Amino acid sequence: MPCYAHTKPHVISADAILQTWYPDYVDLPQGQVTQHNWIDIRPGVIRKREVTAKDLSRISQCVGFNWEFIAIELGLAQADIDQSKMDYKDRTAMQIYQTLLKWKARNGASANIETLVKAIQANTTVEANWEVIKNVVDKIYD
């Protein structure tokens, strides 16, 4: 199917488009990227980059429902989650941000982009805006 969204027209696969919009639509042929393996094809310098407070701030604003599973996947205790919830009632993004800061403080340089993305991916019931997360990973923000 032709794509005219860029200055130079090119052809794209309808299956690739559907896979992007609906990750469970079809199995892509080997070599094509899916929602769950895109982090693995990033260079190691990106995947192993230590998360910054700015990264955590942006990611905390694009995850939602069931975010607590991410914290558990990252090894935080339920008490850590509950404390953030009590400290920032009715401010979900701040609850997530403070919880992720605890993870970063405890793990130092091993609190990296890959570990965080894989924790989000491991919990399919967590709502996440993957386009924003990918931009954070690639540092495509001001």
pLDDT band at 9 (very low <50, low <70, confident <90, very high): confident
The CATH number linked to 48 is 1.10.533.10
Same-domain pairing of 78 and 96:
yes
Note whether residue 142 is domain-resident. no
Tokens of 135: 């931009």
Same-domain pairing of 29 and 98:
no
Same-domain pairing of 121 and 66:
yes
Q: Which pLDDT does position 111 carry in this prediction? A: 97
Q: Which pLDDT does position 31 carry in this prediction? A: 47
Same-domain pairing of 30 and 56:
no
CA-angle at 70, arms to 42 and 36, nearest 5°: 35
Q: Which domain covers residue 29, as residue numbers?
A: 1-34
Q: What is the mean pLDDT of residues 121-125?
A: 91
Scan for tokens 């990296």, then name that residue: 112
CA–CA distance, 137 with 42 (Å, rounded to integer): 9
Q: Give the CA dihedral 37, 34, 93, 141, nearest 10 degrees.
A: 90
As for how many domains the chain has, the answer is 2
State the chain's mean pLDDT as an integer. Answer: 84
Same-domain pairing of 29 and 90:
no
CA–CA distance, 129 with 67 (Å, rounded to integer): 12
pLDDT band at 97 (very low <50, low <70, confident <90, very high): very high
In the predicted model, is pLDDT for residue 50 greater than 70? yes
